[in-house]
Chains A and B, each alone.
Chain A
Amino acid sequence: MSFIKFFWRDFKSDRSFNWFYVLCASLGIIGLLLVESFKVGVEDKIAKNAKNFIASDLSISTRRALEEKELKGIEGYLTEKKFSYARWTETYSLVMKVQRSGDHEEPLSKLADLNFVTPEFPFYGSVVLENQGKKGPGNWSSIHSTPTVWMSRDLSWELNLKVGDQVKIGEALFTVGGIILQDQFSSFRGFNLAPKIFLSYNFLPQTQLVKFGSTATYSFAIKLPDTTKTETIRKELRGILIDKSIKIAGPTQASQQISKSLDLLTDYLSLITLMTYLLSLVGLYYFTQHFLSKKLKTFSIYKAMGLKTSFLFRVNFIHLIVLTTCAVVISTGIIVGVLPFLENFFIKLVGEELYFRLSAMSLVRILSLSLGGSLLALGPLFWGALQTPVATIFQDLPMELKRIRFYYFIPLLLYVIILAILLANSFKVGSLFLGALGAIIILAAICFKGITTMMDKASGSFAFVNRHAVRTLSRYFTSSFTIFICLLMGMTLTTFIFQLEGSLRQEFTQTFGNKRPDLFIFDLQDTQAEQFEQITKTEGWNRTMFAPMIRGRLIKINDKATQKKETPGESDPNFQTREEENSESMRNRGVNLSYRSHLSWSETLVEGKFNGEKCNVEKGPCEVSLEANYAKRLGANLGDKLMFDVSGIEIEGIVTSMRTVKWTSFEPNFFILFQPGVLEEAPKTYLASIKVKDYSEKQRVFTKMAQTFPSVSLLEVSELVRKLTTIFDLMVVAIKFISFLSLFVALVVLIAVSFNHLELRKREMGLFYMLGLKLDTIKKIYGREFSFLILFCFILSIIFGTGLTILIMKNIFNSEIVYRFGFVVPVMAVLGLLLFTIVSVRVRQLVKNKNLF
């Protein structure tokens, strides 16, 4: 008989298995595809948001005027590559209102952040103008034809301007053509010191503002073709512009917050993909084990007929490939058909436009994941099964796959390790995660063995049903442990997902919304602090932060001078690594010191003890708290003595605690906090932030502050905060959504595993029935067995899942875990109950069927 004919006959004879396999594998793959498409969609969306920040794919910016040679180099390169680009020059200047006829008051002038752009600008992003709507790419012509400006609403209000009024900028007159309500572009200097104005590069010469000695940021915004890799172009441009003071940045490098949040999200999504995959693999493994145990006798018959083991192996291996490919094709078809509906559902659900995408690469990845994983996981099972002696043909007992050796799975282990590293995009993330899972399996095995042995010994005094359930667990250890470990992994990973989701969601700080500031007030003098506090109270402002700031310079660490003299432009050869050099430059800088009696809401103590009591300076050095990452860069540890120069006076402190600061809080981060009692007398200024209710309150704050403290600076940060929080909020939605998605995959796998386990026990159920046991008693035996397994898994999964979350949060996300037992325990309990119910229904069906042989 030809190979194909034999294969086809064998394939057809396993019809029910084939359907079941394809169905369950498809469910797993659908989960993977959903996670993958969501991941691609979210990353795409965030990358687009980030592009809006720099209005392009790549930007070149510098705070010095570019030399002729550099300009020619850039323009020559961009022209040769046929890349579109826009010039963008940002500078600060005073904008004066041109008096209308009849105006008698003193002409007003205010500092503004002027952005001169060429007609190509922007390639991405937009501004929203009052009564004129959104102005995106290709829609900016009105500012280029005549001297027109678009100015921020704050500035128009401060200068009492409306559309059609005139302003003097430098030596040129401009007409106000639009009032900006929202703008998506970021300042190259981070925070804007002043409200923004957009105007045409064509009129820059007339203003006479940018010339020798001017301070400005000179930028190129570059649009790259879709297929071009930003990093490649960045490197090529760096070859032309060797001066490091010229920044060449892609969208994600342009904003530290975006870059950090993207890194976090990518790590998280990669971990989830890896977990979903591992869960699917667990399910698949169990399926095949079931399938093979059913086919053992058939294999023996084939072998008795003279067929070779290698021939049978090939047949079954191809069988698996065909089934997995079918599952991939079916699930991809379903996903492609369903994605548009899912997108609409998502938009309705969260009000956020998000396109679920599946790239060709992600399809290839899923296919190779499914095929590679299943072949390496299941191949050894087949090989082991085919080693079964022909004599088993005469056995009437249920056969188990006992000929599988551990080393058969070494290729799978290596495959999973490589996969973990590739999927997580990091050796650390992948290996840490897998290492932790390995440790959990070993610990779980010890626990399971210990408990079942103990229960077995004590089972003599148990009632029949319990005794039988306990003894089955301990005496059929391999099969019991397999189902136990499958359930445990599923439940542990689910606990982990929800604990991690809660912790990360906290990181993106949806709950901090009422504390996100709108206005920063700085340079408030010591003598003005009391009056400011008074005004805050009487006006009812929501002051979110008020902190003294003392400027100092770190001069010694443990009596060793930190100052290091370097020849300008030369690196010190004594520095072994870039980190060492950075650490040294950190030490050389001036630092902002503060003092406080308590930790702020955005800070968490990670090491040592924070001392907020007043220090007795006569008794020795007072205590200092350092921000953990700053301490790391500085190379300072608990117990180290730090010496600062504060306006000519040396002040010593001893490090007694380390803190982390929520980077999404928008709170000024004081790296160094002294105990109260040390710095109160030192010259200082105060920083404050205010959260306003609405625009009219913002106006009132501006007016009151300008009247009372004309020299105090107010920084409007709500627009910047709004831009970043839009991204953070999207992250929160993404994390939440994807967590529920993986919960769905976990449930499917757990049910599939349980069903397969029951299939394997069908014969045993029949025997019980034949021996005269009542159907109710049979149901109870399996019910007890499963309830023990599920309860044990439930307890261990909470412990292991939490441990895994602590490990991952600390080592990968560098953050603290937010315990969510109030949520996780009920969810896991419901999952356990659901599983128990489904298993009970299945047992009832199997027993009712009576066709147990």
Chain B
Amino acid sequence: MKMLSILFLGLLISSSAFSSTNILFLGDSLTEGQGVDENQAFPRLVEQNLRERKHDVIVTNGGVSGSTSASGVTRLKWHLKKKTDIMVLELGANDGLRGLKITETQKNLKEIIRLAKNKKVKVLLVGVLMPPNYGKKYTDEFEQMYKKIAVDEKIPFLPFILNGVAGKNELNQADGIHPNPKGHEIVAGKVTDFVEKNL
């Protein structure tokens, strides 16, 4: 624990950490970049893009493969030990893929957002859609859930992070779900614009 505290302290006293905008991407395997190099995952590409656009940002990739919205609060508490200005929240896809109750996912996401807000962290919500095989009713309700959260919590919202990537073989890995490096580049382009608008 002491070792971790020292590491945190190191980050806290670093001058760049104070002057830069610290962006946390709290998400699942899409954020983690499952199956691709960490440098090829979209959060790192967003950091590069923003820096190229002269924004002084430091990005933390807080993606964990397989994670559901239930883990969000604990994980956010861990990350909030260091300075965080913006949180890009990309969670809920695994809840949907496991067919969990939408009300439960909604409750978890709201808890995460409220915790961040309490700590004066700006929240940007990124949504995902369920694939059509989950049935029209469930996919519609799932899509509406994000919209409702964004409206209720008055936060900026990017409706579908995989827009233009999902369903395209050439942009996805063999599992048909996770983007390949090319797919991540497209995702990063959209997310960069979204984050830049809300910096």
Report which A residues bind B (CB closer than 8 A): 62-65, 67, 91-94, 96, 109-111, 169-171, 193-194, 208-216, 244-245, 522-523, 525-527, 551, 553, 555, 563-566, 568, 588-590, 617-618, 645, 647-651, 677-678, 680-683, 685, 710-713
Inter-chain contact A588/B132, CB cutoff 8 Å: no
Residues of chain A with a CB closer than 8 A to B65's CB: 551, 590
| Minimum C-beta distance from A594 to chain B (A) | 14
Q: B89-106 CB contact bits vs A (8 Å, 1 = yes)?
A: 000000101111100110
Looking at the complex, which one of A65, A525, A648, A651 makes contact with B71 (CB distance below 8 Å)? A525
Can you spell out 13 A-B residue pairs with CB atoms less than 8 angstroms apart?
A63-B176, A64-B176, A92-B134, A109-B138, A111-B98, A170-B133, A210-B132, A212-B132, A216-B176, A551-B66, A568-B182, A651-B4, A712-B70
Complex CA gap A553/B182 in Å reads 21
Docked-complex contact B174 and A650, CB < 8 angstroms: no
Is B74 at the interface (CB under 8 A from chain A)?
yes
**Which of these, B34, B73, B132, B175, contacts A63 with CB under 8 Å?**
B175
A711/B174 in contact, CB under 8 A: no
Partner of B75, one of A568, A588, A589, A683: A683
A590 touches B32 (CB 8 A): yes
CB distance from A554 to the nearest CB of B (A): 10
B residues whose Cβ falls under 8 Å from a Cβ of A: 1-4, 7-8, 24, 32, 34-40, 60-62, 64-71, 73-75, 78-79, 82, 95, 97-101, 104-105, 108, 131-138, 166-167, 169, 172-177, 180-182
Choose one: B4, B79, B138; the contact of A617 (CB below 8 Å). Answer: B4
Partner of A94, one of B66, B82, B135: B135
When C-beta atoms are compared, the residue in chain A nearest to B24 turns out to be: A648
Chain A minimum-CB-distance residue to B73: A527
Using A212-B167, A551-B32 as known contacts, say yes or no to A680 and B1 having CB atoms under 8 A apart. yes
Instruction: Please report the C-alpha to C-alpha distance between residue A96 and residue B99 in the assembled complex, in whole angstroms.
Output: 12
Cα–Cα distance between A589 and B175 once the two chains are bound (Å): 15
Q: With A64-B169, A213-B166 as known contacts, state yes or no: A710 contacts B104, CB within 8 Å.
A: yes
Contact for A648 among B68, B70, B79, B138, CB less than 8 A: B79
Contact A711 B100 (CB under 8 A): yes
Tell whether, in the assembled complex, residue A194 and residue B174 are in contact, meaning their CB atoms are under 8 Å apart. no
**Residue in contact with B70 in the complex, picked from A194, A525, A647, CB distance below 8 Å:** A525
- The 10 A-B pairs of least Cβ separation, nearest first, read A111-B99, A617-B3, A245-B174, A683-B75, A213-B167, A214-B133, A648-B60, A711-B70, A551-B64, A63-B176
List 7 additional contacts besides A193-B98, A588-B36; criterion CB under 8 Å.
A171-B136, A208-B132, A216-B176, A555-B38, A617-B2, A678-B3, A680-B1
Judging by beta carbons under 8 Å apart, are A94 and B99 in contact?
yes
**A681 and B78 contacting across the interface, CB-CB below 8 Å:** yes
**Docked pose: A590 CA to B34 CA in angstroms:** 7
Question: Shortest CB–CB separation between residue A287 and chain B, in angstroms?
Answer: 61
Residues in A neighbouring B73, C-beta threshold 8 A: 527
CA distance A211 to B136 in the complex (A): 12
A645 smallest CB distance to B (angstroms): 7
CB of A595, distance to nearest CB on chain B (Å): 13
Is the pair B182, A525 in contact by a Cβ cutoff of 8 Å?
no
Tell me, in angstroms, the Cα distance from A648 to B11 when the chains sit together.
11
In the complex, A412 Cα to B29 Cα: how many Å?
61
- For residue A170, which residue of chain B has the nearest CB? B135
Chain B residue contacts of A94, Cβ below 8 A: 99, 134-135, 137-138
Residue of A111, A649, A678, A681 with highest tally of chain B CB at under 10 A = A649
Chain B residue contacts of A651, Cβ below 8 A: 3-4
Collect the chain A residues with CB atoms within 8 Å of residue B177's CB. Answer: 63, 215
* Most chain B beta carbons < 10 A, residue from A94, A194, A526: A94
- Give the docked Cα–Cα distance between A791 and B173 (Å): 65
CB distance from A681 to the nearest CB of B (A): 6
A124 vs B4: C-alpha distance when bound (angstroms): 56
Q: Which residue of A208, A566, A713 has the most chain B CB atoms within 10 A of its CB atom?
A: A713
Please report the C-alpha to C-alpha distance between residue A649 and residue B11 in the assembled complex, in whole angstroms. 10
Contact between chains at A681 and B39 (CB < 8 Å):
no
Contact between B136 and A208, CB atoms less than 8 A apart: yes
Which residues of the other chain, A, contact B134 by a CB distance below 8 angstroms? 92-94
The CA of A522 and the CA of B138, in the complex, are separated in Å by 23
| Chain B residues in 8 Å Cβ range of A555 | 38
By a CB distance below 8 angstroms, the chain B residues around A109 are 99, 138
Which A residue's beta carbon lies closest to that of B138? A94
Which residues on B sit within 8 Å (CB–CB) of A62? 174
Q: Which of A588, A618, A712 is packed against the most chain B CB atoms within 10 Å? A: A588
Q: Are B75 and A110 in contact (CB under 8 A)?
A: no
In the complex with contacts A93-B133, A215-B133, A681-B1, A713-B60 CB distance below 8 A = no
Q: In the complex, A710→B60 CA distance in Å?
A: 30
Contact at B131–A213, with CB atoms within 8 Å?
yes
Contact A618–B100 (Cβ < 8 Å): no
CA distance A618 to B6 in the complex (A): 9
| Least CB distance, A581 to chain B, in whole angstroms | 14
> What is the CB-to-nearest-CB distance from A4 to chain B, in angstroms, rounded to a whole number?
71
Q: Closest B residue to A710 by CB, please name it.
A: B104
CB-CB nearest in chain A for B25: A648
Minimum Cβ distance to chain B for residue A653 (Å): 11
- Chain B nearest Cβ from A706, distance in angstroms: 10
Q: Which residues of B contact A93 (CB under 8 A)?
A: 133-135
Assembly CA distance A716 to B71 (angstroms): 22
Let me know if A588 and B79 touch, CB within 8 A.
Answer: no
Q: Within the complex, what minimum Cβ distance (angstroms) separates A593 from chain B? A: 12
Q: Which residues of A sit under 8 angstroms from B62, Cβ to Cβ?
A: 647-648
Contacts of B137 in A (CB 8 A): 94, 96
- Beta-carbon nearest neighbor of B108 in chain A: A711
Partner of B66, one of A67, A111, A210, A523: A523
Contact among A111, A589, A648 for B61, CB-based, below 8 A = A648
Chain B residues within an 8 Å CB radius of A589:
34-35
Are B132 and A211 interface neighbours, CB within 8 A?
Answer: yes
Once A617-B1, A618-B3 are accepted as A-B contacts, the answer to whether A92 and B74 lie under 8 Å apart by CB is no
Name the residue on A nearest B100 (C-beta).
Answer: A711
**Distance A171 CA – B140 CA, assembled complex (angstroms):** 13
Give the complex CA separation of A683 and B32 in angstroms: 14
In the bound complex, how far is the Cα of B100 from the Cα of A92, in angstroms? 13
Among A62, A169, A647, the most chain B Cβ lie within 10 Å of the Cβ of A647
Docked pose: A509 CA to B187 CA in angstroms: 47
User: CA separation between A182 and B180, bound complex, in Å?
Assistant: 38
Contacts of B67 in A (CB 8 A): 523, 551, 685
Query: Smallest CB–CB gap between A299 and chain B, Å?
Result: 73
- Cα-based distance from A551 to B3 in the complex (angstroms): 19
- State the CA gap A215–B3 with chains docked (Å): 43
- Given A209-B132, A647-B62, A681-B4, residue A564 in contact with residue B71 (CB < 8 A): no
* CB nearest to A218 among chain B residues: B176
Give Cα distance in the complex from A568 to B75, angstroms: 31
Distance between Cα atoms of A270 and B136 in the complex (Å): 56
In whole angstroms, what is the CA distance A685 to B131 when docked?
26
Q: In the complex, what distance in Å separates the CA atom of A214 from the CA atom of B97?
A: 12
Report the separation of the CA atoms of residues A680 and B1 in the bound assembly, to the nearest whole angstrom.
8
Chain A residues within 8 Å of B167, by CB = 212-214
Across the two chains, which residue of chain B brings its CB closest to A678?
B3
Query: Does the CB pair A553–B38 fall under 8 Å?
Result: yes
Q: In the complex, A680 Cα to B2 Cα: how many Å?
A: 12
Known: A525-B71, A590-B65, A645-B38. A683 touches B2 (CB 8 A): no
Chain B residue contacts of A527, Cβ below 8 A: 73-74
Report the minimal beta-carbon distance from A13 to chain B, rounded to whole angstroms: 75
Please indicate the chain A residues that have their CB under 8 angstroms from the CB of B66 in the complex: 522-523, 551
Q: Are A209 and B133 in contact (CB under 8 A)?
A: yes
**Cα of A649 to Cα of B174 in the assembled complex, Å:** 30
Query: In the bound complex, how far is the Cα of B68 from the Cα of A713, in angstroms?
Result: 10
> B175 to chain A: which residues have CB within 8 Å?
63
Q: Looking at the complex, which one of A111, A210, A647 makes contact with B64 (CB distance below 8 Å)?
A: A647
Residue on B nearest A587 in the bound complex, by CB: B37
Given A208-B136, A525-B74, A617-B2: A194 touches B99 (CB 8 Å cut-off): yes
Chain A residues whose CB sits within 8 angstroms of the CB of B2 once the complex forms:
617-618
- In the assembled complex, the Cα of A213 lies from the Cα of B132 at a distance in Å of 6
Residues of chain B within 8 A (CB-CB) of A215 are: 131, 133, 176-177
